Chains A and B, each alone.
Chain A
Amino acid sequence: MATSEQKLVLVIDDDKDIMEAIKIMLETEGFAVETALNRKVGLEKATGNCPDLILVDMMMETVDAGAKVAEDIKNSGCKAPILLLSSISDATSYNLDINAMGFAGSIQKPVMPSVLIPLIKQKLGMK
């Protein structure tokens, strides 16, 4: 459970290994992490307890599952910034406009701590 000082990050990805890697990266940096392996659980967790930030994989059950779950979360009233977790080549191959979908930004896979942590801290206004 997140303590009052800890920032809560929700990771929605159907790749267990990537999720585990991100979880450890974030926990090492002192974040509390919630995980969801699919759209449905992700939406439930986001609406049940709106986290400080959400990471969503684009290609899960379908090509644009990430965009759909992001839209559902926004509609549910959770205002947390949502970062897209995918490779840029996926997005361009499927002609997806990340900004138009309302994502606060994107992180390329493979996820490197040197890229992930500064971006999350920046989005959360942390030093």
Chain B
Amino acid sequence: MTEPVSIKNRTINKIRLIHQAELVERLGWLIRVRWLAAIGVSSTILVATAIFDLLVDRNLLLLISCAIPLCNIVYYFYFKWLLTRKDLAARCWRVAFLANTQISVDLVILIILIYTSGGAENLFFFYFIFHMIIASILLSTTASYLQATLAVLLFNLMLLFEGLGLLPHHRLFPFFEESIYGHPVFLLGLSAVFTSTIYLSVYMATSITRRLRMREEELIQLKDSLEETNRELRELHEYRSHFILKVEHELKAPLAAIESLIAVILTSFTETLAPKVKELLSRAEKRSHVLLEMIRELLELSRIQTADYRFDLKPLSLESMLNRLLGILRSQAEDKSLSLELNFPGSLPQVLGDEKAIEQVLMNLLSNSLKYTESGGVNVRAVHEEGFVKVTVTDTGIGMSEEELQMIFEEFYRGEKAKENYEGTGLGLSIVKEIVEGHGGRIEVESTPGKGSQFMVWLPTA
């Protein structure tokens, strides 16, 4: 049972690699977003100070905001350098370090900006939430809570030092009285709301991220196990096909040798043989020939019956195929003085089929009709019929009873009269039915004992 464990390990490694690749990708995204953030911060300072009557030092704020693109340049080049590193373990550690550093530095720059533009008065402290969400997506749960703690610490220290007068307060709004923004209750309330908001944001965002990662892992595991099963099935199918071919060859080889040896006796030593010996050998040759045919047909039937067997479908002209097959069989019909006619009452569309398989269907039906007919003849008719081409093969042969018709497509079944007087495998019609139905067509048969049979095949048009 080592195989499933190794598959699981492989999947775990794969998940780890996917997460690393995701982190690298998101890190690149964070650096790209920071360029926009830098522009946004500077624009906000310029627009806000121009429109509103604010008490802030615009130039100081712009100077501080310059730290954002400056740091981003460092991140950018460090990130580029990281991507060239081949040592995966070291790269992984550095990527995590870069992600943490970026967020921590962002928090520090944000608190400095807030402090220099009003401190407790400044409502931009909501922006800490964005960083918490980014941290929850990029970093581990522990690292996300550490970043949250840093944000809470920075903000509360600012409130505390301002409140205690240890840090000078930079005023923002002329209408905001010190009795409000410096009031201990206001500061305590602000601190409590900020702290709870930050931790709740991280809790929610990390929970969602964790769930998403779990689902992602499940999907990857499922995909891996499906791929594995698919591979095993393909191997099994290949093995089976190869096995069938081998069996076919191994079974056919001795029979081919028997037939060849009998053929030699009957031709090269014919003068030394008594007539009865010759007759018995001919019968032995015929029986071994039937056995050879049976092996070929049985293996072919087993090939077609496999669930994943696919026919090589192409548009085919039944008109030319039937003409060709009748040309081949004409001498056989003439030997028995049978008529062999072909009728196409109207124009015939192409059918969608596997050329070899359809040829086998028609050849089988035609040669069966010729085999089981001693007088009269065989008539073939093909017509277009609502999305199908219907081929009807009618003979004036031995025919079949109602009971025989029920069984005619079953493997190895042969009618009483057929068995008595003709050699055959009893597999031909089973193969015909499999092929026709495998093409989305159907086959029907009508027959009267002693008068003849009629096989009707419907094949879908192209």
Contact = CB atoms under 8 A, between A and B. Distances in A.
Interface of A: 15, 17-18, 20-22, 24-25, 28, 59, 87, 89-90, 92-94, 109-114
Nearest to A58: B249
Contacts of A93: 245, 248
Nearest to A27: B268
B264 A113 contact: yes
Given A59-B249, A90-B245, A110-B256, 8 more contacts: A18-B256, A21-B264, A28-B268, A89-B248, A90-B248, A109-B253, A109-B256, A110-B263
A18 B263 contact: no
B296 interface: yes
B401 interface: no
B260 interface: yes
Most buried by A among B258, B261, B292: B261
A21 B245 contact: no
Contacts of B292: 110
Most buried by B among A24, A59, A90, A110: A110
Interface in B238-256: 245, 248-249, 252-256
24 contacts: A15-B253, A15-B256, A15-B257, A17-B261, A18-B260, A20-B264, A21-B263, A21-B264, A24-B264, A25-B267, A25-B268, A28-B268, A59-B249, A87-B256, A89-B248, A94-B245, A110-B255, A110-B256, A110-B257, A111-B260, A112-B263, A113-B264, A113-B267, A114-B267
Question: Would you call the interface of chain B mostly helix, strand, loop, or mixed?
Answer: helix
Contact of A21 (B252, B253, B254, B261): B261
Contacts of A59: 249
B257 A113 contact: no
Contacts of B249: 59, 90
B162 interface: no
B259 interface: yes
B260 A109 contact: yes
Contacts of B245: 90, 93-94
Contacts of A24: 264, 268
Given A15-B253, A21-B257, A24-B268, A111 B248 contact: no
A28 B257 contact: no
A87 B248 CA distance: 11
Contact of B252 (A20, A22, A87, A113): A87
Interface of B: 245, 248-249, 252-261, 263-264, 267-268, 289, 292, 296, 356
Contacts, number: 63
Nearest to B296: A89
Contacts of A18: 253, 256-257, 260
Nearest to B244: A93
Given A15-B253, A110-B257, A28 B263 contact: no
A68 to B, nearest CB: 17
Nearest to A94: B245
Contacts of B264: 20-21, 24-25, 113
Contacts of B252: 87, 109
A111 B143 CA distance: 81
Contacts of B261: 17, 20-21
A92 B356 CA distance: 11
B248 to A, nearest CB: 7
Contact of B263 (A15, A20, A89, A111): A111
A20 B256 CA distance: 13
A66 B8 CA distance: 45
Given A90-B249, A93-B248, A113-B267, A21 B296 contact: no
Nearest to B289: A110
Nearest to B303: A93
A24 B266 CA distance: 12
Nearest to A29: B268
A15 B261 CA distance: 12
Contacts of A25: 263-264, 267-268
B84 to A, nearest CB: 47
A28 B267 contact: yes
A17 B260 contact: yes
Nearest to A92: B356
Most buried by A among B249, B254, B292: B249
Contacts of A109: 252-253, 256, 260
A25 B262 CA distance: 11
Contacts of A114: 267
Nearest to B253: A15
A113 B263 contact: yes
A22 B296 contact: no
Nearest to B266: A113
A18 B248 CA distance: 17
Nearest to A114: B267
